Amino acid sequence: MAAMASSTFFFFLLCLTVTAKKTYIVHMKHQDKPLSFETHNDWYSSSLQSLTATPAESLLYSYNAAFNGFAASLDPEQAEALSKSDSVLGVYEDTVYNLHTTRTPQFLGLDAESGLWAGHNTQQLEQASRDVIIGVLDTGVWPESKSFDDSGMPVVPAKWRGECESAPDFNPKFCNRKLIGARSFSKGYRMASGGGGIYKKPGEIQSPRDKDGHGTHTASTAAGSHVANASLLGYASGTARGMATHARVAAYKVCWETGCFGSDILAGMERAIEDGVDVLSLSLGGGSAPYFRDTIAIGAFTAMEKGIFVSCSAGNSGPTKATLANVAPWIMTVGAGTLDRDFPAYAVLGNKIRYNGVSLYSGRGMGKNPVGLVYSKGNSSGSNLCLTGSLDPALVRGKVVLCDRGTTARVEKGAVVRDAGGVGMILANTEASGEELVADSHLLPAVAVGRKVGDLIREYARSEPNPTAALVFGGTVLDIKPSPVVAAFSSRGPNMVTPQILKPDVIGPGVNILAAWSEAIGPTGLAKDSRKTMFNIMSGTSMSCPHISGLAALIKAAHPEWSPSAIKSALMTTAYTQDNTNSTLRDAADGSLSNPWAHGAGHVDPQKALSPGLVYDISTEEYITFLCSLGYTVDHVKTIVKRPNITCSTKFKDPGELNYPSFSVLFGGKRVVRYTRELTNVGPARSIYKVTVNGPSTVVISVRPKTLIFRSVGEKKRYTVTFVAKRGTSPMAKPEFGSIVWGNAQNQVKSPVSFSWSLM
């Protein structure tokens, strides 16, 4: 294999036709490095010398921890030549991922003085969490935010190997005992920009500083310090705090103006793993892909092996089915739900009917007098959507404009109305977004309403000769019922990469979340928004993900010996599926009952997750067996596992045999599906659990044994569950859902079950 280094290794040399270069991630056989090279980086550089006159410039990243290989700037012919090497397992074009854009602690029960952690109080848990480090891969951090104040924090844990990098706008001294690390990774992004082309924003500085706001918001949600009198321009006023207020934060900026490039994400994950983080939080993702082509899944596997919990957002493509991102079973896939807090606003029409909506508008109001209302009156067919340039100022000046939601950003529509001379906006949902209401800090008085109300207002605007409207704002209201409700935007199952693994795993708070913000940008994120605020209210699975990252940090602090799989199991099996009216969780899309394809195991319950009783643990070897069961080649499995001696001699008959805390039963022409699971006792010795099953009439569920007796802490017990589809059930039957619960007086260890008769 030493020939890898020689110029005769490749038949394409410097005479290659010059074509546009792209970033490629190259997976290498790690063990093939010739002895003549001191490091793998030297080997990679040498391999590029045969292809390019500037190998040092072409080699963007050399990966060792999260991935075996490198990222390089190559043209397609060079990439093709490289792929023919015996030492190359694969060459993949870089992927662009996207961001999945103060009352949550109380809503989650984290402000209770006792009872959080069996035998310990909140203060003891907070002290334990000081040694836990959360790495956030996002748009960077605004270090001056009060959410990263380190008052009362002890010295940085000795295990920490990270640093705060220096940049023209970022002094390493901005870091402290709370924000202990800040780095940036932009080589993939800069390569895609062509050194300042279509991707790159003029004057953009390579720095960990957050110019977007998203990264500061997610980092402070996970582990922000207490900040009194926090609000967004008066809304949601109170004390802002993260989930794990005493945990440390390390920010890894991997997302830039046009997205998050896979090569940069992988470099950020690798650095975070080497730096010594305990939890990785990624509020970003792309579409679903096989795990060996999924940058985040590959990096997360190495993190899991090293005991690092990885939490990722599920995506914001709901309520359409099969829209999930980040579905690898070693990742915690997080959907979004609402809080018990709302920001009501009202549209009062000329017919005296008042319709309910929401808004975060904080400027001067319209007053009580109604003004003219217009809808779909403009220069183009896009006027109903209030697209840029679509509104005729002569028709909308001084009036309220009714805009359909969709195509462009909600706040952008308000800017279009304002620029055309409108004095207010009613933003009406269409069928795509249903009844879900997301509040925004609009640039002009604006109210968002659901589809049904939107249809009534649309009809009024069309049929009334002189329609009018007035907009009224109601501030902040608490104790909203029902809550939580599954957010309509939260991406849905089924899991199309591995249908036998139920995803998402859980939901957490992700609608109208108050957290810290970058002072480099206004609350809408629009260039024309000159307002500055220390906190902002945002929605998305991007917001729910860091809630779970912070909760995982608390569980890690309480149980440092637990594996990432055990922590995930604790959060899943203790999640609840009833709202604050004691009814089954509902779906904001249409108000119907939700199901595990939308909410997974349910909404997280931190108090119960700290003492789950039993956990479903999964070893690295079991994950490898799972991967070998997916029909991947051994080389594909090696891409993820990064071990040279993988043979896949051991496989599951069915990927669903993985010891996962939930069940996804795919009959697919069979009538019988049987799985064996193993539970580990993390509760008291001499614990007895009995099983309860719940399922549809079309499936018979039987469990053996029906009772599990654990005589000691750490003891493991197995059970087998058999699912039998009743004869005559159509292969086209709609999916059904159920549950399996192991319970006693202290704990209810619940697993959701989905039943499908065929793939979608």
- Reply yes or no on whether the pLDDT at 203 is more than 80: no
pLDDT tops 60 at residue 6: no
Average pLDDT over all residues of the chain: 90
Q: Tokens 């849905």, residue?
A: 492
pLDDT of residue 197 exceeding 50, the answer is no
Q: What is the pLDDT of residue 118?
A: 53
- In CATH, which superfamily holds the domain spanning 22-93? Peptidase S8 propeptide/proteinase inhibitor I9 (3.30.70.80)
Query: Distances from the Cα of 555 to the Cαs of 113, 275, 359, 561, in angstroms?
Result: 17, 21, 35, 10
So what's the pLDDT on residue 115? 45
Q: Where in the chain is the domain with CATH 3.30.70.80?
A: 22-93
Tens digit of pLDDT for each residue in 680-728?
999 999 999 999 999 999 999 999 999 999 999 999 999 999 999 998 8
pLDDT score, position 103:
41
- At which residue do the structure tokens 């870089």 appear? 94
**pLDDT given for residue 434 in this prediction:** 83
The pLDDT assigned to 2 comes to 41
Residues of the chain with pLDDT > 70: what percent?
Answer: 93
**What mean pLDDT is predicted for residues 45-70?**
85
The structure tokens 């009814």 sit at 583
| Higher pLDDT, residue 534 or 119 | 534
- Provide the pLDDT confidence category of residue 17 given band limits of 50, 70 and 90: very low
Asked whether the beta carbons of 75 and 18 are under 8 A apart, the reply is: yes
Q: How far apart are CA 335 and CA 492, in angstroms?
A: 8
Per-residue pLDDT, 378: 66
* For the ranges 83-92, 263-272, 729-738, the one whose mean pLDDT is highest: 263-272
Q: Give the lowest-confidence range in 58-67, 116-125, 554-563.
A: 116-125
Catalytic residue among 75, 94, 131, 138: 138
State which amino acid sits at residue 26.
V
Q: What is the pLDDT of residues 105-159, one digit of tens each?
A: 555 565 554 445 555 566 777 777 889 999 999 999 999 999 999 999 999 999 9
Look-up of token digits 């490091």? 39
Instruction: Give residue 18's pLDDT.
Output: 45
Domain 659-756 has CATH 2.60.40.2310: yes
pLDDT digits (tens, 9 = 90+) for 642-658: 888 899 999 999 999 99
Least confident of 268-277, 352-361, 426-435, 676-685: 426-435
Whether 500 and 654 have beta carbons less than 8 Å apart is answered as yes
Record the pTM: 0.92
Catalytic residue among 214, 246, 547, 636: 214
Q: What is the mean pLDDT of residues 251-279?
A: 96
Alpha carbon distances (Å) from 355 to 347, 383, 416, 424, 724: 5, 23, 23, 15, 49
Q: Average pLDDT for residues 76-102, to the nearest whole number?
A: 88
Q: Which of 94, 404, 102 is nearest to 263 (CA)?
A: 94
Residues of the chain with CATH 3.40.50.200: 106-195+206-340+483-610
The CATH number, out of the four listed (3.90.190.10, 1.10.1060.10, 3.40.50.200, 2.40.170.20), of the domain defined by the range 106-195+206-340+483-610: 3.40.50.200
Residue 680 bridge partners (DSSP): 615, 716
Residues of the chain with CATH 3.50.30.30: 344-471
In the predicted structure, residue 23 carries a pLDDT above the cut 50: yes
Give pLDDT tens digits for 359-400: 999 888 888 889 999 998 766 778 899 999 899 999 999 999
How far apart CA 82 and CA 91 sit, in angstroms, is: 8
Per-residue pLDDT for 319 more than 70? yes
Q: Is the pLDDT of residue 342 over 50?
A: yes
Q: Is 654 a catalytic residue?
A: no
138 is catalytic: yes
The confidence score (pLDDT) of residue 257 equals 86
The predicted-structure confidence for 560-597, as pLDDT tens digits, reads as follows 999 999 999 999 999 999 999 999 999 998 899 999 99
List, in sequence order, the alpha helices (H) in 525-619: 541-558, 564-573, 596-599, 606-609
Rounded Cα distance between 486 and 127, Å, is: 33
197 Cβ neighbours under 8 A, 6+ residues apart? none
Residue-level pLDDT at 106: 56
pLDDT at residue 193, as a whole number: 77
CATH architecture of 344-471: 3-Layer(bba) Sandwich (3.50)
pLDDT tens by residue, 208-244: 999 999 999 999 999 999 999 888 877 788 889 999 9
d(Cα 737, Cα 117) in Å, to the nearest integer? Answer: 32
Confidence grade of residue 3 (pLDDT, cut at 50, 70, 90) = very low
Tens digits of residue pLDDT in 607-632: 999 999 999 999 999 999 999 999 99
Query: Looking at residue 107, what is its pLDDT?
Result: 53
List residues bridging with 753 in a β-sheet. 663, 738
Type of residue at 171: N
Residue 359 vs residues 347, 453, 508: alpha-carbon distances, Å: 11, 15, 22
Range list for CATH 2.60.40.2310 in the chain: 659-756
**Which member of 207, 362, 542, 563 is catalytic?**
542
Supply the pLDDT for residue 398. Answer: 95
| For range 541-560, the mean pLDDT | 96
Whether residue 430 has pLDDT greater than 50: yes
Q: How many CA atoms lie within 13 A of 182 on its CB side?
A: 30
The residue ranking higher by pLDDT, 411 or 233, is 411
Q: How far apart are CA 165 and CA 250, in angstroms?
A: 12
Q: Residue 15 above 50 pLDDT?
A: no
